[in-house]
Chain A
Amino acid sequence: MSAASAPRTMLSGLLPLLGKRVASALLTLLLVSAVIFTVSGLLPGDAAQETLGQSATPEQVAALRHEIGLDRPALARYADWLAGMVRGDPGTSMVANMPVREIIAQRLPNSLMLAGFTALISVPLALAIGIASAVNRGGKLDRALNIMTLSMVAVPEFLVATLGVLVFSVKLLWLPSIALVSDTSTWGELIRSSTLPVLTLTVVVTAQMARMTRAAVADQLDRPYVEMAQLKGVRFSRVVLAHVMPNALGPIVNAVALSLSYLMGGAIIVETIFSFPGLASLMVNAVTSRDMPLLQACAMIFCTAYLLLVLTADVVAIMANPRLRAQ
C-alpha cells in the first residue's frame, strides 16, 4: 500500500461512482414522487374536504378547492410541483397555509436529532455486541448476547416504549413521558426528554445491526488468513482490528445504513407514543389531511436520507476494503 497513490486512485475511483449515484438518486426521487402522487390520488376525499370537515357546504368546498388550486387537473398540479422542486421550492401547504419549507424546518431538526442520538448509541453498541460475540462465537458470552439481541427484537416496538414510560416516567418519575421539544429547550432538557424515545429506538435497531456485524466478522474470522496471522505471532486484537474489520466492514456498514434509514420514517410509532414532533408523524398528518405538497416533501426527505445513507455505506466500504479500492 503506497501512501501517496492511494488517495488519488480512491478519488478517481469514487468520482464516477458518485456521478452515477447522483443521477440514479435523482431518478429514484422522481419515481418516489410519482408513486406517492399516484397512490395518494387513490385516497378518498381531498384537502378541501378534509379541511372543511363534515359540515362543509358545496360552495365552501368549491371555493377552497379553487383557492388551493385543487380545481386544476391532477397532472398539471404534479407538473407544477415538479417544476417548483427543480427550482428548489417545495410549495405551500394546502392545509396549514404556510410554506412547506417552514413546516419542515420546524420538524426536520427534531427527526435528525432523534436519529442522530439513536445512531450515536446504537451503532457503537451494535458493533461492540457483534464483534464480542463473533470473537467468542460458540462461547457463553456469544450465547448470552444472542439471547439478548433476539429478545430485543421479539417485543413489539410500542410495547417497549410503553413499558419504558411505565417504569421510568410513571413509576420512578425519572424521565418525562412525552418529548417536550421546543425552541426554548436547553440541551439538558432536550436530552432528558428524548431519552426514552432514543432508548426505544435503540432497542429496535441495535439487534439487527449487531447480528449482521457478528455474521460478517465471524465469516472473516473463519478464513485462513486469520489463522496465518496468528501463527505469525500477530496479536489477536490486532488481527481483528487491522485485518478482519476492514474486510468485514462492507456488509456491516450496509446493515447500519439500512437500520439507520429506519430511524427517520420508521419512527412513526415512537413519535406517536411520545408525542414527538418529528417528520414521520408529520407525513401521517399530511396523508390524513391530503396535503400533497407536504406529503411529497416528507417522502423526498426520507428517500434522500435513505439514498445518502446507502451511498455513504458504499463509499465507506470501498475506502475500507483494499481490494475494492484497487478496482
Chain B
Amino acid sequence: MSRWGGTLRALLRSGPLSGRIGLALVLFWFAAAVAGPWLAPHPVGAFVDRDVFGPMSARFWLGSDYLGRDVLSRLLWGARYTVLLALGAALLAGSCGTALALTAAVRGGWIDEALARAMDTLISIPSKIFALVLVAAFGSSLPLLLLISSVIYIPGNFRIARALATNLVGMDFVAVARARGEGAVHIALREVLPNMVQPLLADMGLRFVFIVLLLSGLSFLGLGVQPPYADLGSLVRENISGLTEGAPAIIMPALAIATLTVGANLLIDALGAGKGRR
C-alpha cells in the first residue's frame, strides 16, 4: 500500500495535469458523497417548487426537477448513493475475484477448472437481465444492488487476477517458499498477493467506473435506489423528459456521472503511467 501512496505523492508533485484533474474530480465527488446530505439545502423528497423543471435560481441553485424538487439536494444525495455503492461493489468484486483467483492459481487442478467454469457461467448471462431477475425475485434493496453489481464484475476481476497470480506462482521465489514447506494460504497471501496489489487496484478503479455506468443502466430498467432517494443514473432517467428543454435537472446529474467517471479514469491512467517501463 505504501507504494500506492508513494505513487499518489509522486502524482501530486510532478504528475501529468490530467492526473491531477482526475484526482481533484474524484476527491470532489468523494467529499460530496460523504458530506453531501449535510450540505443539501432542502430535504431530498420535498416538493419545494411549484414549477417543474425550473431554471437555476438563487433559491434553487440547480433548478427543480420533474416534480418540483430541488435538484441540488437530490444530486448531493445521489452522489452519495452512486459513489458509495460503486465503491463498495468494486471493493467487494475485487476482493472476491482476487481471493478466488488466488485459490485457483495456487491450488490449480480441478479447483482452477471449476472456478473457471463458474466464472464463464456468470459472465455469459447478460448482466442487466440477470439483475432484472434477481430484483424481481428478491425485491430491490441497497444490499441486493451492491451484491448484484459486485457479482457481475467478479469474473472480470478474476480473469485479470488469475493471470497475474499464475504468472507469479511460476516464479522462483514461490518455488522457494513451497520448498520451505509453506502452506497454500501462506503462499497465496504472503508471497503472491503483495506482488499483484498495484495492477489490481488499477483494475478496481476501472471496475468502479463500470459499476457507476452499470447502475445508471439499471436505473433505466427501473432497478435503482428506493425513492425518494435516487442514484445519479436514476436522476438522469427520471428527468429525461426535460432533455428537450435543456433543464438543469437532467444536465446536472449527467454532468456528475461524466465528471466522476472521467475523473476516475484520468486518475487511474496517471497512476498506471507512473509504473513506467517494466
Do A and B contact each other directly (Cβ–Cβ < 8 Å)?
A: yes
**Contact status of A39 and B121, CB under 8 A, knowing A154-B258, A222-B277, A268-B128:** no
**Contact status of A28 and B240, CB under 8 A, knowing A150-B266, A156-B254:** no
Contact A306–B220 (Cβ < 8 Å): no
Q: Whole-angstrom distance from the CB of A38 to the nearest CB of chain B?
A: 10
Q: Is B118 an interface residue (CB 8 A)?
A: yes
Q: Whole-angstrom distance from the CB of A45 to the nearest CB of chain B?
A: 10
Contact A31–B220 (Cβ < 8 Å): no
- Give Cα A306–Cα B133 distance, bound, in whole angstroms: 20
Partner of A44, one of B127, B137, B269: B137
Q: Whole-angstrom distance from the CB of B105 to the nearest CB of chain A?
A: 18
Q: Whole-angstrom distance from the CB of B127 to the nearest CB of chain A?
A: 7
- Give Cα A302–Cα B237 distance, bound, in whole angstroms: 27
1/0 contact trace for B97-122 toward A, CB 8 Å? 00000000000000001001110110
A264 and chain B: residue at smallest CB distance:
B126
- Give Cα A307–Cα B221 distance, bound, in whole angstroms: 27
Identify the A interface with B (CB < 8 A): 24, 27-28, 31-32, 35-36, 39-40, 42-44, 143, 146, 150-151, 153-159, 162-163, 166, 222, 261, 264-266, 268-269, 272, 280, 283-284, 287-288, 299, 302-303, 306-307
Q: Is B205 an interface residue (CB 8 A)?
A: no
Contact A280–B126 (Cβ < 8 Å): yes
Q: Kindly state the interface size class of chain B when it binds its partner.
A: 35 or more
- Give Cα A35–Cα B134 distance, bound, in whole angstroms: 12
Which chain A positions have C-beta within 8 A of B116? 24
Q: Whole-angstrom distance from the CB of A148 to the nearest CB of chain B?
A: 11
Chain B interface main SS type? helix
Which chain A positions have C-beta within 8 A of B130? 39
Identify the B interface with A (CB < 8 A): 18, 113, 116-118, 120-121, 123-130, 132-134, 136-138, 209, 213, 216-217, 220-221, 233, 236-237, 240, 243-244, 254, 257-259, 261-262, 265-266, 269, 277
- Give Cα A151–Cα B133 distance, bound, in whole angstroms: 31
Contact B125–A299 (Cβ < 8 Å): yes
Given A162-B243, A287-B129, 18 further pairs, Cβ under 8 A: A31-B118, A35-B125, A43-B133, A151-B262, A154-B262, A155-B254, A156-B213, A156-B216, A156-B220, A157-B213, A162-B240, A261-B124, A265-B127, A268-B126, A268-B221, A269-B217, A272-B220, A302-B124
Contact A266–B126 (Cβ < 8 Å): yes
Contact A39–B126 (Cβ < 8 Å): no
A158 and chain B: residue at smallest CB distance:
B220
Contact A155–B257 (Cβ < 8 Å): yes
Q: Whole-angstrom distance from the CB of B79 to the nearest CB of chain A?
A: 15
